[in-house]
């Protein structure tokens, strides 16, 4: 696990922004911890509106993210896919990543990808933002999405 290269973002002023958080129910303990950290981060940065919705699993994330990208300044997708004994892991991870990327580009709306793809449960716990975790992917996904949304807002206000 590495936080090498992780930028220090400092405190963002996200007042006036609306953000949606879409959280998968699969691997609930992990996903709910990431949701808590993402929402706490949004509130810490002063987000005006936080909309929260849940879906069954990671494969359902893109369709809800797409819908919410139409009405929010940014969307954060949270899920956890743990490798099993079949190629299903690869298909799910590839589909979700491609879907979220396409939505961000098509909608011109930042999508924070907080979908963990791990080899085992412990790796997920280590990344989920628990008090003893070494990473906080819910907070990181929110910070990245808000930073991009603020940059888009700045570009649009100066470039008309």
Which domains, and CATH codes, for the chain? 19-155 (3.40.50.960)
Q: What secondary structure letter does DSSP report for 8?
A: -
Share of the chain above pLDDT 70, in %: 94
For residues 81 and 154, what is the distance between their CA atoms, to the nearest angstrom? 35
pLDDT at position 10 is 74
> What is the pLDDT at residue 5?
53
Residue among 25, 70, 88, 102 flagged as catalytic: 88
Report CA torsion sign: 69, 47, 131, 148. positive
Please confirm, yes or no, whether 88 is among the known catalytic residues: yes
Q: How confident is the model over 6-22, as pLDDT tens digits?
A: 566 678 999 999 999 99
pLDDT at residue 7, rounded to an integer: 61
Could you list the residues known to form a binding site for 5-amino-6-(D-ribitylamino)uracil, using ranges: 26, 58-60, 80-82, 113
**pTM given for the model:** 0.94
Q: What tokens were used for 159?
A: 């470039």
Tokens of 2: 């590495």
Q: What does the pLDDT read at residue 1? A: 44
Q: What is the pLDDT of residue 85?
A: 81
C-alpha distances in Å from residue 148, one per residue of 9, 30, 120, 160: 12, 25, 31, 18
What are 17's two structure tokens?
């922004």
Q: Three-class SS of residue 26?
A: coil
Residue 58 has what DSSP assignment?
G
Q: Which of the residues in the chain have pLDDT under 50?
A: 1-2
Which pLDDT belongs to residue 25? Answer: 97
Which residue positions form the known binding site for (2S)-2-hydroxy-3-oxobutyl phosphate?
Answer: 85-86, 127
Q: Quick one: pLDDT at residue 13?
A: 95
pLDDT at 11: 86
Residue with structure tokens 């509106």? 49
d(C-alpha 63, C-alpha 23), whole Å? 12
């Amino acid at each position: 696990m590495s936080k090498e290269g992780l930028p220090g973002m400092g405190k963002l002023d996200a007042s006036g922004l609306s953000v949606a958080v879409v959280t998968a129910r699969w691997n609930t303990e992990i996903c709910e911890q990431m949701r808590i950290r993402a929402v706490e981060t949004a509130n810490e940065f002063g987000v005006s509106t936080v909309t929260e919705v849940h879906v069954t699993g990671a494969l359902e994330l893109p369709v809800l993210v797409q819908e919410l990208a139409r009405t929010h300044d940014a969307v954060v997708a949270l899920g956890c896919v743990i490798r099993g004994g079949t190629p299903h892991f690869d298909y799910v991870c590839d589909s979700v990543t491609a879907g979220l990327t396409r939505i961000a580009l098509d909608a011109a709306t930042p999508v924070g990808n907080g979908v963990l793809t791990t080899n085992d449960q412990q790796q997920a716990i280590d990344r989920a933002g628990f008090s003893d975790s070494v990473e906080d992917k819910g907070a990181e996904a929110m910070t990245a999405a808000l930073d991009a949304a603020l940059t888009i807002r700045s570009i649009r206000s100066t470039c008309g």
